[in-house]
Structure 1
């Protein structure tokens, strides 16, 4: 979005050319939940509304969305709510204070959906279609790019939070089956989270073929993916969350490697044929991995198709321009 000045209120410095206002959160309890934090961002009240054209927040029931709605009231500042939500009957919508935040979100000028399912979710919840725009996420195809020579090594990469809902436990179990047929197969795990100890224990045993790479920056992730044979996760839903899209899927496909993952929520929007979606079953995951690891020609075909689709449909610059067009369209309607 050229000629756009962005000020970000965040605890950690975001990536990109923007002004960062280091901000913490006020929390009544030290707990976060999916689809919205039980917290309000500090320092928003110190920002002068007259200095801004838009205020953007993430998700309808985030308490910061309600906070931003109140902050911009009686000013010319427009509000955009970015949403990935794909559960039409999100349980949090019924729970105070998330219910109040949802009500505040209805006054937003733009609802920017990162997936098609988010638009359906908004309409199902009575939001006006004329203020909804869908712009799929982008990936930096100059950073996430295939290796000059595809690897011949049977290396599987898991790059995601090490949490139960992302399925690292399933992938570890699947790799034990894979190594019975492909003894040299290895699993490289990048990420952090509550199941890190599970991965550390596996990596401590050289018989598993598991290596923990830890937390990596974008370039580290890109290098890891480009030198892998297959990307694999195994998400499964919980009571308030189901897989929405998955940026890691885009990064892997931009690096020209196949994806094997479980069907979950709306991740089929990101993982399309000729990639492999399977049931939430360890043996099914293992079988799909073996198919890709033992067939180099297949890997090459799938990888080339993935790279072409990422450039056509998810290139970061193109998607940023489409996002800018969504803002401009809403602004033009208000004239």
Structure 2
């Protein structure tokens, strides 16, 4: 149960666990191979997003009761509160999947979200998707035996490198176009990049509140900047195979910081090198030889230029990135590990 569940993420991983059948409740209809029941939401404001959305299911009782588990995302989510009450009512086991990585978020104190947390804190199992969320939920007082951690995976058969390393100085910004993803910083940095590397190009993909900023940038400098709008998974993979460097510049808000960044894994699996800003716990995804720099336009530009001017170093970094993602974050391997984590929880519960 989750508002606006993004495809190829948590629901996908659950559906790939061996010997597992998943029924999803919510909207929109997901592309994954699951049984789906469409449910409407009430969402009085769009001020908060993703798991923090101020939205809840109107008809949660449409969910099946002949299941082994009820699962939802994030302990403070309003839909997780609904899932917790549904599981208690029907005597089902509750699993909470989570990325969240800091207890200072005000969402834990706002009435609806606090009630969700008070309901979900009794979950049978917390499956953390990053080490930071494991540390966080333990800090919140949850017993270690109810917590496990399995790192996320991406499809390494979809996100693959080109036959030969990309030589053209193409930089890709692929992200929801929200203010906290830092398109403004990247555009300022790219002005400095083209001074050093005049043939460099920036391709922007995504939609959101900063879409007009992307359109205006492409209109001002069509020689160096392209805006291609929203791409599906295959379109993202194709763009990554044509690009040399991936860049974003996330910055924290009162209710959010970068938790991990699956798109970093997708870029690395596709033969790209990553430049991003240090935000939250994205160090779990962005490791050397990639560049994780302070939120400074000059430092972002310097990191991009350094990579564009050295194709040999870039190619070696891309090779290492691909090997690491395949070894540690292949989606089918990680889904199997998630299944093993659920099996451990079931053994503990008896």
TM-score (norm 2): 0.93
* Separation in structure 1 between the aligned mates of residue 248 and residue 122 of structure 2, nearest angstrom: 37
Of 78, 96, 102, the match for 2:117: 102
1:139-168 deviation line (CA, Å, top 9, x unaligned): 100000001122211000011111110001
Matches within 5 A, 1:131-146: 131-146=146-161
Q: Does residue 109 of structure 2 align to residue 80 of structure 1? A: no
Quote the offset at 1:33 in angstroms.
4.0
Contact 2:150–2:334 (Cα < 8 Å) also in 1? yes
Match of 1:18 among 34, 55, 66: 34
Moved more, 11-20 or 306-315: 11-20
Matched with 2:69 is 54
Q: Residue in 2 aligned with 1:43?
A: 59
Give the Cα separation in 1 of the matches to 2:306 and 2:91. 57
Structure 2 unpaired stretches of 5+: 1-16
Number of positions where the alignment pairs a residue of Structure 1 with one of Structure 2: 334
In structure 1, what is the Cα distance between the partners aligned to 2:49 and 2:318? 35
Partner residue, 1:161: 176
**Residue among 263, 281, 292 paired with 2:307:** 292
What is the correspondence of 1:251-330 to structure 2 with a 5 Å cutoff? 251-330=266-345
Contact 1:165/1:236 (8 A) holds in 2: yes
Task: Flag the 1:25–1:74 CA change in 2: closer, same or farther, 3 A.
Answer: closer
CA contact (8 A) 1:14 1:20 kept: yes
Give, in whole Å, the separation in 2 of the partners of 1:29 and 1:181: 44
Offset of residue 235 of structure 1: 0.4
Question: Partner of 1:188: helix, strand, or coil?
Answer: strand
State how far apart, in whole Å, the 1-side matches of 2:46 and 2:189 are.
Answer: 35
Q: Counterpart of 1:201?
A: 216
Where does 1:199-238 land on structure 2 (aligned, <5 Å)?
Answer: 199-206=214-221, 209-238=224-253
Aligned position for 1:5: 21
**SS of alignment partner, residue 72 of structure 2:** strand
Structure 2: how far apart are the matches of 1:249 and 1:29?
30
**Secondary structure of 1:81's aligned partner:** strand
Assess if the C-alpha contact under 8 Å between 1:234 and 1:262 holds in 2: yes
Cα pair 2:102 2:136 within 8 Å, conserved: yes
C-alpha separation in 2, matches of 1:280 and 1:94: 29
